[in-house]
C-alpha cells in the first residue's frame, strides 16, 4: 500500500515533469529552435561558395579557418531561404548568426547544415563563439540582406 505522502510526492513530481516537457516544446515553437543536421563528410563542401538555386533559395558553403570565414560577405535578397553548409579546415570554430537563432560548430572532417529564412533587410553578423586561437576576436563574416530587386 502506498502512503498518502508518497502519493502526493508522485503527483507533484508528475506535474513538474509535465510542465518541464511543455516548457521545452513551447520554447522550441516560440523561438523557432533549429537543430543543425550532421551530414556525411565530402571534400566538395570545402570550397567556399554561394549557389543561387532560384529567386529566393540559396546554398552557402561556408568554411571556417584560422581566423576567418569564407565567404566573408554573403549577399541575398530579403525573403530568401538559405541552406548553410559549414565545415572547418583546421580546428573547432563556432558559427553564430546574430538575431537568427543559429548556433553551429564548424568541425574539421564534419559537415553541419541548417536552414535560415532572412525576411528583413539588414546586415546579420556572423561571429566565432568558440575560442580558436590568438586571432579569434577578429573572426567575423556577414550576411547582407537587401530589398528584392523590382522587376
Structure confidence by residue, pLDDT tens digits, 64-109: 998 899 999 999 999 999 999 999 999 999 999 988 888 999 999 8
Whole-prediction pTM value? 0.76
**Which of 68, 49, 69 is CA-nearest to residue 59?**
49
Q: Which helix (H) or strand (E) holds 25?
A: helix 4-30
Q: Establish how many alpha carbons lie within 13 A of residue 134's alpha carbon, considering only the half-sphere containing its beta carbon.
A: 0
- Which range has the worst mean pLDDT, 22-26, 39-43, 145-149? 145-149
pLDDT exceeds cutoff 60 at 135: yes
Task: Give residue 132's pLDDT.
Answer: 86
Tell me the C-alpha to C-alpha distance, in Å, between residue 47 and each of 32, 58, 71, 85, 100.
Answer: 29, 16, 10, 11, 24
Task: Give residue 142's pLDDT.
Answer: 95
pLDDT exceeds cutoff 60 at 146: yes
The mean pLDDT value of the chain amounts to: 90
Amino acid at each position: 500500500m502506498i502512503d498518502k505522502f508518497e502519493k502526493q510526492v508522485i503527483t507533484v513530481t508528475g506535474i513538474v515533469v509535465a510542465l518541464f516537457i511543455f516548457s521545452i516544446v513551447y520554447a522550441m515553437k516560440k523561438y523557432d529552435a533549429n537543430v543543425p543536421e550532421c551530414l556525411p563528410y565530402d571534400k566538395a563542401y570545402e570550397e567556399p561558395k554561394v549557389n543561387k538555386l532560384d529567386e529566393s533559395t540559396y546554398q552557402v558553403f561556408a568554411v571556417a579557418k584560422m581566423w576567418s570565414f569564407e565567404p566573408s560577405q554573403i549577399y541575398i535578397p530579403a525573403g530568401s531561404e538559405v541552406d548553410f553548409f559549414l565545415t572547418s579546415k583546421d580546428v573547432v570554430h563556432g558559427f553564430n548568426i546574430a538575431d537568427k537563432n543559429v548556433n553551429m560548430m564548424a568541425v574539421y572532417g564534419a559537415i553541419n547544415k541548417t536552414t535560415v529564412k532572412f525576411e528583413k533587410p539588414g546586415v546579420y553578423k556572423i561571429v566565432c563563439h568558440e575560442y580558436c586561437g590568438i586571432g579569434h576576436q577578429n573572426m567575423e563574416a556577414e550576411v547582407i540582406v537587401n530589398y528584392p530587386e523590382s522587376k
